[in-house]
Amino acid sequence: MKKLSVSYAMCAVIYLLSASAQAQPVDWERWLASQIKQHPDIIAAREQLQGSEATADAAEQPLYNPELSSELEQVGEENNYRVGVSQTVDWWDRRGAKQQQAAFIRQAAKAQYQQQVMSKTAEALSALVEWRASNQAAIIAQAQKEQLNALLQVAEKRQKAGDIGTIDAELTFLSLSKQLAQVAELEVALQKAESRVRELLPQWTPEKGGIPEDFWPSEPVSITDQELLQHPYVASAQARWKSIKEEAEATRRAAKAEPTFGVNAGRDGGENTVGLTFSIPLNVRNDYSAETRVANRAALEAEARFLAVYRNLRFDWQAAQAAWKRYDEQYRRWLELARGRVENSADLLERQWRSGDLSTTDYLLALNQRSESLLAGISLEKHTQLALTEVLLHSGQLRAVAPTATKPLN
């Protein structure tokens, strides 16, 4: 007689849940970083970084170029001409403020790039976690389907032999029909999860598996206020504020008049001439104070946004930390409860059903509860790892696997 239980598949799932993932090469993190670096979103982020570098280079350049002037006139038979060079002087050192601004532009751009890489890395990790959970759920559903299919065959034989009634076979058929729909749903979910991982990691295959167990931190993640300020998300906002602050200072200095000096030489009426020129704008009709107020308000706005980013990130990290601890606690509790029980329960239930100590209705209910228990364990593991991914993202510790941007970027 065909054995009903397919506990080997169930035991494999329990092993996957309770033990570490299959051994992975030590350079898995470097492989992940290289895959993230190839994503079009990250390529676009690198181009954006290069553009910001060019913007910073432009801000560091001198403000004024020399100006060449010439004049030619004919008076009678005399040809008079004059050639001169003039230079506006950066009297109030506006270029110095611009150079400070350029440094902060670079800091903000690099921090923003790191943040985009971290976000994409977290997205890829979450996709791998979803794929692993979907794969395990599909294994359980398939095993449950095979078990019900075998049960239906045995039930039909026992019905013919008069051991059980017609209603028992019908109940088994109804359970199998329901299980077929669940298998289809879980297999579709698995295909979607696999496609998502392939979109994020071009060279990934199901054979490569999920995330190595030793990737996850073995101790609770902690972060200080100083480390939080170094988080790319916060560092980018802080550097952007300081950049706008220096821009406001440059605008304030630009409102002040700056002199232009020049020297010229030529001939006038047959005589050689040399002259000096001096000019300065008279800011009497427009003192440009409105532009200065606008720039100062923009700096204050940027400072407030930086403080808001810092505050929001701290609360987000605390919330993610609390969620992870809660899921981790329940998942470890589930492992303790499931270990040694789920593996042996299928054989025990089958023996009791064959001996008549367990009705077909109760047997089907017990099998369904056993399957739901396994699926609950998968769900707990998934949510634990997703919450931990959020903790690593909000704490900035995903930078350990993020490819850094160094010149040249091409």
pLDDT value of residue 86 = 94
Name the residue with higher pLDDT: 140 or 247. Answer: 247
Give the side-chain half-sphere CA count within 13 A for 284. Answer: 3
The residues pairing with 262 across neighbouring beta strands, listed in sequence order, are: 86, 277
Q: Which of 129-138, 300-309, 391-400 has the lowest mean pLDDT?
A: 391-400
Bridging pattern class, strands 260-268 and 78-88: antiparallel
Cβ burial 378-400 (10 Å sphere, 16+ → b, else e): bbbbbbbbbbbbbbbbbbbbbbe
| Six-digit token string for 48 | 């954006």
At 5-14, the pLDDT tens digits run: 444 444 545 5
Average pLDDT over residues 14-28: 52
Name the residue with higher pLDDT: 77 or 204. Answer: 204
Name the residue with higher pLDDT: 185 or 321. Answer: 321
Q: Please report which confidence band the pLDDT of residue 199 belongs to, taking 50, 70 and 90 as the band edges.
A: very high
Name the residue with higher pLDDT: 79 or 198. Answer: 198
3-state secondary structure of 21: coil
At 344-379, the pLDDT tens digits run: 566 666 666 666 666 667 767 777 777 788 888 999
Res 4 pLDDT > 50: no
pLDDT value of residue 292 = 92
Percent of the chain with pLDDT over 70: 77
| Six-digit token string for 61 | 């350049």
Residues with Cβ within 8 Å of residue 295, at least 6 apart in sequence: 244, 247, 248, 251, 252
| Six-digit token string for 37 | 């670096």
For the chain, count helices (H), then strands (E): 10, 4
Average pLDDT over residues 51-79: 89
Any idea where the domains of the chain sit in the sequence? Answer: 25-395
Per DSSP, 340 falls in state T
pLDDT value of residue 340 = 63
CATH 1.20.1600.10 corresponds to the domain 25-395: yes
At 254-311, the pLDDT tens digits run: 999 999 999 999 988 778 889 999 999 998 888 889 999 999 999 999 999 999 999 9
Per DSSP, 206 falls in state G
Average pLDDT over residues 307-326: 94
- Biggest CA pair distance of the chain: 136
Q: How many CB atoms lie within 10 A of CB 228?
A: 18
pLDDT value of residue 1 = 38
Q: How far apart are CA 274 and CA 287, in angstroms?
A: 34
pLDDT value of residue 145 = 75
Q: Please report which confidence band the pLDDT of residue 21 belongs to, taking 50, 70 and 90 as the band edges.
A: very low
At 80-96, the pLDDT tens digits run: 889 999 999 999 999 99
Res 43 pLDDT > 80: yes
